[in-house]
Amino acid sequence: MSDSAKIQLNKFELDSRIITGSENEKGFDITKLRPTTGHITLDPGYGNTGACMSDITFIDGEKGILRYRGYPIEQLAEKCKFTEICYLLLYGELPNSNQQELFSQKIKKEQNIHEDMKRFFDGFPITAHPMAILSAMVTSLSAYHSDTDITNPDKIDNDIIRLLGKVKSFAAFSYRKSHGLPFIYPQPELNYVENFLHMMFSDAQENYETDPILAEALNLLLILHADHEQNCSTSTVRMVGSSQANLHATISAGISALWGPLHGGANQRVIEMLEQIRDDGGDYKKYVNMAKDKNSDYKLFGFGHRVYKNYDPRAKVISQAAERVLKALNVDDPLMDIAKNLEHIALNDNYFVQRKLYPNVDFYSGIIYKAMGIPTNMFTVMFALGRLPGWLSHWREMITDPKSKINRPRQIYTGPILRNVKPVGDR
Ligand code: ACO
């Protein structure tokens, strides 16, 4: 929907349209700005810039609302399996049981990785970060599947399903390799989450007995991470994909963007921070003061968000799940107490209240992963596993949109003005 508008910018008047989204979000269409005025906009960090229109996910950061395809995240988290969410994000509707069965079978068929690719793992040092391995393995898939065609819906679908099947095997294999353990192959009778736990924790003598509490918690975490509209890694996927780079290379770029500690890498940093506080005698107030100190670069990882200026709805669900999992497993994790104390102090401290800094999705997730036996350096891989259907859905939405263009921002140049080159001896 659009209304016309006139924007007065200094001496310029721009005929614009006001674009209104289905939840009444509004934006100025400035596509005619440069041709009309010779000026561009400058918005470092893109806090005011909409780069696309999308049907997939709605966030109201002020109210703390997150919905996938219109469904509240809380309902999806309570009622669905992760593969149903993959289907919802990709195809726009929740699957019926036949569609769900067919979709799960297709993913299962793609779980195994090419035997040659198993040897790739031998090339990495044992200390390699699993995110380095994951991004390399995903882009390496382009070497095995080069017949991509973004004009062919069946081939697009095959590429998507292949990644949904194989990324979790790469993730589990990177863990096995870094622990000197043999690879465990997926089993056809297990579902997505059970298979991942099996590939991580079974051994040659004994199959891992899926603990329903852990399987349920992992399913929940994957759902809560599945999409978050135009975040840094999804925007990266759209940026790289806009050049029509192949899907494997494109998703690998998203994985790299996710790795940063200001984005998905924060979940690893949170647990490292909580452990540091624990080892420092539990004095969490000292760390809160460090985070408030303008002369220090210290941050409380797991706090703050570009979009949420209210409690992150995902953090709310995850903190309750963390309590449930620890109770059910009878685990008394001192990190949970430190986390709750940090949250309490931050929610009542002027510094955090004024800046609207609340716990984000990464604050409590590591406590659950840790209870599952997943090592800290795998946490961001777990995030990638969850975010994969979101990246794939945004990629497909973009490449199937006939109006889609290569993404190419502009800049305001601030370097030297024209000067002449002197021969090397005269410089
Ligand atoms: N601890 C202490 N102070 C903080 C924190 C924090 N975690 N986050 C923001 N602030 C302060 C900033 O110093 C700034 O203060 P100022 O106004 O006095 O200068 C103010 O709050 C606004 O912060 P910005 O950095 O401008 O906020 P921005 O939207 O650019 O950044 C971000 C958001 C990157 C998430 C930031 O809050 C942060 O670094 N948090 C910690 C890392 C983290 O948890 N990242 C995961 C985010 S969720 C996700 O990506 C999956």
pLDDT range class, residue 4, cuts 50, 70, 90:
confident
Is 228 an annotated catalytic residue?
no
Look at residue 411 and tell me whether its pLDDT is greater than 90: yes
Residue nearest atom 45 in ligand 1 by C-alpha distance: 262
Cβ neighbors of 252 (< 8 A, separation 6 or more) are: 135, 136, 138, 139
Pairwise CA distance, residues 63 & 60, whole Å:
6
pLDDT for the residue numbered 178? 87
Domains in the chain, start-ordered, CATH in brackets? Answer: 2-65 (2.20.28), 72-262 (1.10.580.10), 266-371 (1.10.230.10)
305 alpha carbon to ligand 1 midpoint, in Å? 6
Buried/exposed 370-392: b ≥16 CB within 10 Å, e otherwise: bbbebebbbbbbbbbbbbbbbbb
Look at residue 346 and tell me whether its pLDDT is greater than 90: no
Question: What is the mean predicted confidence (pLDDT) over 10-37?
Answer: 91
Q: Which of 176, 14, 183 is nearest to 114 (CA)?
A: 183
Distance of CA 168 to the CA centre of its chain: 15
Distance of CA 133 to the CA centre of its chain: 17
166-216: pLDDT as tens digits: 999 999 999 998 888 999 999 999 999 999 999 999 987 888 888 999 999
Does residue 300 line the site of ligand 1, with CB under 6 A?
yes
Quote the mean pLDDT of the chain: 95
pLDDT range class, residue 147, cuts 50, 70, 90:
confident
Q: Which of 287, 291, 298, 301 is nearest to 376 (CA)?
A: 301
Look at residue 3 and tell me whether its pLDDT is greater than 90: no
Question: What is the mean predicted confidence (pLDDT) over 117-132?
Answer: 94
Pairwise CA distance, residues 289 & 294, whole Å:
10
pTM metric for this prediction: 0.96
260 alpha carbon to ligand 1 midpoint, in Å? 13
250-284: pLDDT as tens digits: 999 999 999 999 999 999 999 999 999 999 999 99
In angstroms and rounded to an integer, the radius of gyration of the C-alpha atoms of the chain is: 23
pLDDT for the residue numbered 1? 61
